[in-house]
């Protein structure tokens, strides 16, 4: 559920509903051919770090690094956290990745020159709407 968390009692009830004979796979096993196919697919997914793209690297590190409950830079606990690469080399070292709130993540990327600041052409420098702006979105 987006934005809501189940209570511990509800989680326990959900677990109980899927345990033992209530589980759809209870008493069944995979065939030898299917186990071999699953093994082969898993090996294909575990490709070399250099062969995978940006999103896959982030997903892999998200699985490796336990999620923090606060931003590693400002200590904020209110906002959603994302995984940030410190040196933008996107290597496999856990030491080079940190959990950060969106604000700190954007500031870090702007400072490193990775991300550009979005400017709304329909607003002035104070954030007020301009009459008849009608321009296109601009990246600065």
Q: What are the pLDDT digits (tens) for 63-84?
A: 888 888 899 888 888 888 888 8
The pair of structure tokens assigned to 101 is: 């709130």
**β-pair partners for 37:** none
Tell me the whole-structure pTM to 2 decimals: 0.49
Per-residue pLDDT at 12: 93
* Annotated domain spans of the chain: 47-115
* Lookup result for tokens 């998200």: 62
- Rounded CA-CA distance 140/138 in Å is 6
- Percent of the chain scoring above 90 in pLDDT: 18
Distance between CA 25 and CA 29 in Å, rounded? 8
Per the CB < 8 A criterion, the answer to whether 62 and 26 are in contact is no
């Amino acid at each position: 559920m987006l934005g809501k968390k189940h209570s511990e009692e509800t989680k326990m009830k959900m677990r109980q509903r899927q345990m033992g004979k209530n589980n759809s796979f209870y008493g069944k096993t995979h065939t030898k051919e299917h186990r071999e196919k699953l093994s082969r697919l898993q090996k294909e997914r575990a490709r070399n770090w250099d062969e995978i793209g940006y999103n896959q690297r982030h997903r892999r590190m998200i699985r490796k690094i336990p999620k923090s409950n606060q931003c590693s830079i400002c200590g904020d606990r209110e906002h959603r956290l994302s995984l940030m690469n410190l040196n933008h080399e996107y290597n496999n070292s856990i030491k080079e990745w940190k959990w950060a709130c969106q604000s700190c993540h954007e500031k870090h990327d702007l400072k490193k020159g990775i991300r550009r600041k979005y400017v709304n052409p329909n607003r002035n420098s104070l954030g007020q709407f301009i009459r008849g702006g009608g321009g296109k979105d601009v990246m600065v």
